[in-house]
Chain A
Amino acid sequence: MLKIENLHATVADKPILKGLSLSINAGEIHAIMGPNGAGKSTLSYVLGGRPGYEVTEGSATFAKENGEAQDLLDMDPHERAAAGLFLGFQYPVEIPGVSNVQFLRESLNAQRKARGLEPLSGGDFLKLAREKAGLLKMDMDMLKRPVNVGFSGGEKKRNEMVQMGILDPRLAILDETDSGLDIDALRIVGDGINSIMRRPDKAVLLITHYQRLLDYVQPDLVHVLAAGRIVKSGGPELALELEREGYAEIAA
């Protein structure tokens, strides 16, 4: 579904990704772990099309629903979203004056329009939003409040997952969605990821520092990212090994 080949990227002219290759098939969940500064967040922003993250070499393709490959890097951020990509932010942005409900309804309908579908009515949207908020145990009143304003760190992350549930992407890249969560919230978020994304036609790339999230969301493959490249890949046991022995030992 996602195929990254020899990806090089710079931020403010500083090389961060240095030849990263990774392939994720439909139905799979991959985890990327790695030390601070390895390029994990840069990878998520490059795939999400954030301005200022320049690809200098390599490619990334994202398969359409019919399997046909399309150049992900050639698309604008909103086109990537409409194509089925969702980026879970490490630091979700606060937007005063814009309610979650308005923002999400307009976002979903913009995606539907790009796919040639009719917009969802207000009633149908609220029903969907209520269902997904319930799944993440988030109070519906919070969805009526301005986007992330006054939310705690954990609430912001849960809100990201509610958004993911509503937008229903085919590929989710979740950048440290587990950081800032307490033990109960971690389980709720883990269950949310499983119920929204664990399907034969979907895939997830989890970027995380800790093995704990992987207890709830079992990855098919674990990769170690260091100095801008994948230096090691393995099964779920690799995460346990990393937890035990540290990156220095494994990545060496």
Chain B
Amino acid sequence: MTARPTRRDEAWRYSDIDAVTAAWPLPAPESIVVPAGGDFRRAIVQDEGDIRQIELVLGKGAAASLHILNIGGAYGRIELAVTLHEGADFHLGAAQIGGGEQNLEIVTTVTHAEPGATSRQVVRSVLGGTATGTYLGKVAVARDAQQTDSEQDVKAMLLGRSATANAKPELEIFADDVKCAHGCAIGELDAMALYYLQSRGLPPAEAKKILLQAFVAGVFDGAEDEEHLQALALTKLGELV
């Protein structure tokens, strides 16, 4: 068992260390192996406070699509360690929505171990109150993993000045023929758009909810149980506005 993390560990820097301590030692990570050519899909809803670790290995030409809705409990952390073999394809669509004093984290390490694999991560966070939302995403490309195509698209929306968003895309590339895109933005609701919606009769809370719904909606496109995820996300957004 590894040592209990502290704030000095980069991967736990923004975590709720008290909650981590209470949960320590963590159970062994869930291990998922998708065999060569296989296809794996899963939707994960974290709604009661939990530290969840998943190791996912994609064999040659395998595909995996994960959708995560991280919304519940005082502290909710989901960690993914993904290894991609030749030509594998990994997709993550995640939303974390928190209010009050919630601390929500998604931490990913995607290793392109062999050539020609693709990975795409889309993460949206909506944070109100004094909540903290964190995305730490490392993409590691091995020396042999030429023609890697990887993308991280990370955006956070703060509903008030006391909420916090952390985003850290990180690239570690040893191959020389790769495409690794990463984009990251943290912002607040557009005042003019809010006014425009209200000028047509929508009360402020409804107007905010519509804009936030649009902000997170795309991440669940094509998800297993897409409507259920959208509905849960919408309910949670309704509690924040």
Contact = CB atoms under 8 A, between A and B. Distances in A.
Interface of A: 48-51, 76-78, 80-82, 87, 89, 92-93, 95-98, 102-104, 106-108, 110-111, 114, 146, 163, 167
Interface string B92-120: 00000000000000000000000000000
Contacts of A104: 200
A82 B201 CA distance: 6
Contacts of B20: none
Nearest to B192: A93
Given A51-B191, A51-B195, A93-B193, A98 B202 contact: no
Interface size class of B (residues with CB under 8 A): 20 to 34
Contacts of A50: 195, 199
Contacts of B207: 78
30 contacts: A49-B199, A50-B195, A76-B198, A77-B195, A77-B198, A78-B198, A78-B202, A78-B203, A81-B199, A81-B200, A82-B201, A89-B199, A92-B196, A93-B192, A93-B193, A95-B193, A95-B196, A97-B213, A97-B214, A97-B217, A97-B218, A98-B210, A103-B210, A106-B202, A107-B197, A107-B201, A107-B202, A110-B201, A110-B202, A114-B201
Contacts of B200: 81, 103-104, 107, 163, 167
Given A77-B198, A97-B217, A106 B193 contact: no
Residues of A contacting B: mostly? helix
Nearest to B207: A78
Contacts of B191: 51
Given A93-B196, A108-B201, A110-B201, 18 more contacts: A49-B199, A77-B199, A78-B199, A78-B201, A78-B202, A78-B204, A78-B207, A87-B199, A93-B193, A95-B196, A95-B197, A95-B211, A97-B217, A103-B210, A106-B210, A110-B202, A110-B206, A167-B200
Contacts of B193: 93, 95
